[in-house]
Amino acid sequence: MKHAIVKVFRMKSEDLHKALSLIDARRNNITKLVSDLIKIRSINPPGDMQEIATFIEELLKNEGFSVNRVEPEHGKISLITSVGKGKPELVFNGHMDVVPSGDVSKWRYDPFSGVIVDEYIYGRGASDMKGGLGALIQAFLITSKFENKLNGKLTLVLVPDEETGGLLGTKYLVDNNIVVGDAVIIGEPTGLDYIDIGQKGSLWLKLKFRGKSIHGSLAPYLGDNAIIKAYRTITELYNITKLKANPPDDIKYIIDTSTNVADSLIGLRGIGELILKHPTLNVGIIKGGSKINMVPDYCEVDVDIRIPIGLTSRDVVEEIRKILEKYEGEVEVISISEANYTSPYHKLVETVEETIELVISKKPRIFVQWASSDARYYRVKGIPTIHYGPAEVEGIHGYNERVKAEDVIKASKVYLITALKFLESI
């Protein structure tokens, strides 16, 4: 690793220093861009991106780029623009939407002020992921200054809809071949010294139970109570959290070390082992019965199951079917995505790894995550994809979200140098 970095310096140290100094010269622009992005209320739901997309489109056009605007549904706008041509194609992907602010009185500063206090930029989306978004956009703009040296193409893809599943954003672009890349960096919050290369799968199911109604005064001796069937099923369903994953060799040790990362991020010792090596289960919605004095003849239960790398949805569904058979339940699949990851030995991961070490003088840790993201849509198509972005874990999807201005600038440096290296211009 060290050797590779020395090589970068020796090979084209002029270009490397020029690239880094171009970011330093734009420090205030980068910080201001993140602050301006936070000020735009791109809240999802409802997820209308008109204001933020128009703002970014204007910025890109003023810098001389032509921008492809894709809008499969009103307000669900994606922006795509490129520099360079041919292969390989590296994609910078970022989502423009943010989750709602929640109770505004619990925020120290207005969540849409983008205020900068003591080197931190505050507001909804600061970490997830307007910090990453600003850093990606600026790195893209600077990459264009090296256009005649690029051996390939860098494409900037800004999407809506990530916070509600990505169907009209990244998934739409990938499924319709509007975006096809050879490698993808998503600026999701990881913190500067972490690279996230894998996500769990998710399996959302609706379990349905039918029974026979009768007057409540005759229960439990007559009739057939659908709620009781659901209750017994739910109790047994937790057995699936004991299923153990058997991950492939190239990712096994990463999962082992990720359990410690999860422990410290969540602040609970041992949780990493549970959530990264086994399925998790949340019983989210239950509906059943219509009157207190009637035995209910119908009940349905929505469950959210997350599947670790090394188990498939088929393995889990098989177990659930066995339980449902006992209680005469049926299952309807709401959605499925399999666990997915990019090999830690892929050139993309190695390039980002050595670039991070160069920029922050610390060897990054590679880990896999327990949640899911837009990365799966690229990985399903065989496109290597990682998450890397500036972050303060506290406040993401909560209150007082913030990001360190210096971290945004450093992330922008990592994006820029990675692009130049991946496209073999330095």
| Minimum CB–partner distance for residue 169 and Zn ion (Å) | 11
The stretch among 121-129, 167-175, 203-211, 412-420 that binds Zn ion (CB under 5 A) is 121-129
Q: Which is nearer to Zn ion, 132 or 211 (CB)?
A: 132
Closest residue by beta carbon to Zn ion: 128
* The token pair that represents 279 in the structure block: 């399925």
Max distance between CA atoms of the chain, in angstroms, equals 86
Other CB atoms within a 10 A radius of the CB of residue 266 amount to 13
Reduce the DSSP state of residue 91 to 3 states and report it. strand
- DSSP H/E element including 207: strand 201-210
Q: Which is nearer to Zn ion, 208 or 376 (CB)?
A: 376
Contact 133, 158 (CB under 8 A): yes
* Per-position DSSP letters for 268-305, written without gaps between them: -TTHHHHHHHS-EEEEEEEEE-S-TTB--SEEEEEEEE
The stretch among 82-90, 124-132, 204-212, 268-276 that binds Zn ion (CB under 5 A) is 124-132
Interaction between residue 128 and Zn ion (CB under 5 A): yes
Please write down the long-range contacts of 62-66, taking CB distance under 8 Å and 24 or more positions apart.
Answer: 63/141, 63/144, 65/144
Q: Which is nearer to Zn ion, 95 or 153 (CB)?
A: 95
Q: Which is nearer to Zn ion, 108 or 397 (CB)?
A: 397
| Minimum CB–partner distance for residue 189 and Zn ion (Å) | 7
Site string for Zn ion, 249-268 (x = CB under 5 A): --------------------
Other CB atoms within a 10 A radius of the CB of residue 353 amount to 21
| Minimum CB–partner distance for residue 162 and Zn ion (Å) | 6
| Minimum CB–partner distance for residue 403 and Zn ion (Å) | 12
Q: Which amino acid is at 373?
A: S
Q: Which is nearer to Zn ion, 132 or 308 (CB)?
A: 132
Q: Which is nearer to Zn ion, 169 or 296 (CB)?
A: 169
Q: Which is nearer to Zn ion, 128 or 300 (CB)?
A: 128
The single-letter DSSP state of residue 205 is E
* The token pair that represents 74 in the structure block: 């009103």
Site string for Zn ion, 334-373 (x = CB under 5 A): ----------------------------------------
d(CA 282, CA 237): 10
Interaction between residue 196 and Zn ion (CB under 5 A): no
Interaction between residue 129 and Zn ion (CB under 5 A): yes
| Minimum CB–partner distance for residue 370 and Zn ion (Å) | 14
Residues 151-190 binding Zn ion (CB under 5 A) are 188
Interaction between residue 43 and Zn ion (CB under 5 A): no
- DSSP H/E element including 349: helix 347-360
Reduce the DSSP state of residue 186 to 3 states and report it. strand
| Minimum CB–partner distance for residue 127 and Zn ion (Å) | 9
| Minimum CB–partner distance for residue 321 and Zn ion (Å) | 34
Interaction between residue 392 and Zn ion (CB under 5 A): no
* Per-position DSSP letters for 244-273, written without gaps between them: -----HHHHHHHHHHHHHHHHHHT-TTHHH
Q: What is the phi/psi pair of residue 205, to 5°?
A: -125, 150
Q: Which is nearer to Zn ion, 89 or 128 (CB)?
A: 128
The stretch among 19-27, 120-128, 288-296, 309-317 that binds Zn ion (CB under 5 A) is 120-128
Q: Which is nearer to Zn ion, 37 or 129 (CB)?
A: 129
Q: CA nearest 116: which of 44, 48, 173, 39?
A: 39
Q: Which is nearer to Zn ion, 196 or 224 (CB)?
A: 196
The stretch among 15-23, 129-137, 307-315, 355-363 that binds Zn ion (CB under 5 A) is 129-137
How many residues at the interface with Zn ion, by CB under 5 A? 3
Q: How far is CA 292 from CA 123, 221, 289, 378, in A?
A: 46, 16, 8, 49
User: What angle do the packed helices 131-143 and 27-39 form, to 10 degrees?
Assistant: 130
The stretch among 10-18, 42-50, 122-130, 409-417 that binds Zn ion (CB under 5 A) is 122-130
The stretch among 77-85, 127-135, 225-233, 281-289 that binds Zn ion (CB under 5 A) is 127-135
* The token pair that represents 179 in the structure block: 């975006």
Q: What is the phi/psi pair of residue 193, to 5°?
A: -105, 25
Residue ranges binding Zn ion (CB under 5 A): 128-129, 188
